[in-house]
Amino acid sequence: MNNDIFEDLKKAIKEYDTEAAASLAKKAIGEKIEPLKLLDAMTVAIREVGDGFGRGELWLPDLVGAADAMSAATPIIEEEIKRIGAKRESLGTIVVGTVFGDIHSIGKTMICTLLTAEGFKVHDLGINIKAEQFLEAIKKYNADILAMSALMTMTAPEQRKVIKFLENENLREKVKIMVGGGAITEEFSKNIGADGYDPTAPGAVKLARQLIGK
């Protein structure tokens, strides 16, 4: 029976069925299935979708749909992990946010889901985040990486502003910075002093691992 739930959960994610994913997560928890194993199963599924996207076999809506399904199940499972005091090995801590003046969230949310699945501890600050808020979060969570998104050309310079702000506060050398979003390019990333850039969500996960050497 347990194997059936694992397979059904993976299927729900790969078929972008948010309702089924949440329902199966609740069912599995009710049957006392180890929550860390449930997260592992979902990670396998989201990686398969991400790999398919990377190979050009799947499209952005596929990746968004799978991320939404996983996002529906993850809080249910994480709550059980906290309740029983289970521990999941973390690759590192990442603070994520869309910069001030920009209210786009789809790409950011998708990346947060994939980073969490990979094993990072992710703190999503949301959208329209000021430099001071990024600074506070980096200090509060002792972040290894700051990931900033900007979809619009007019808000892209905010990423440079945040980096300058961190430099002025003597925090730049303590955190790796990765940037992304529709308005960002590799050249822009280098010009503003970021540590890395990738145009895709699966690529951002690989970049995060590279930045912390894992």
pLDDT at 69: 94
pLDDT at 3: 75
Q: State the average pLDDT over residues 118-127.
A: 94
Could you tell me the pTM of the whole model? 0.85
104 pLDDT more than 90: no
Instruction: Give the pLDDT band (50/70/90) at residue 33.
Output: very high
Using the 8-state DSSP alphabet, how is residue 99 labeled?
B
pLDDT at 93: 98
Three-state SS at 197: strand
Give tens-digit pLDDT for 47-96: 899 889 888 999 988 988 999 999 999 999 989 998 999 888 899 999 99
Cβ 102 vs Cβ 128: under 8 Å: yes
pLDDT at 92: 97
Q: Please list the helix, strand and coil fractions of the chain in percent, rounded to the nearest 5, in that order.
A: 60, 10, 30
Give tens-digit pLDDT for 160-193: 999 999 999 999 999 999 999 988 999 999 999 9
Long-range contacts at 79-84 (CB < 8 A, ≥ 24 apart): 80/29, 80/35, 81/35, 81/36, 81/39, 84/35
For domain 2-84, the CATH class is mainly alpha
Cβ 165 vs Cβ 131: under 8 Å: yes
Q: State the average pLDDT over residues 26-46.
A: 94
Q: Pull the structure tokens for residue 16.
A: 């972008």
> What kind and span of H or E run contains 93?
strand 93-98
Q: How many CB atoms lie within 10 A of CB 62?
A: 16
For domain 93-211, the CATH class is alpha beta
Cβ 102 vs Cβ 150: under 8 Å: yes
Q: What residue type is assigned to position 174 of the chain?
A: K
Domain segments of the chain as ranges: 2-84, 93-211
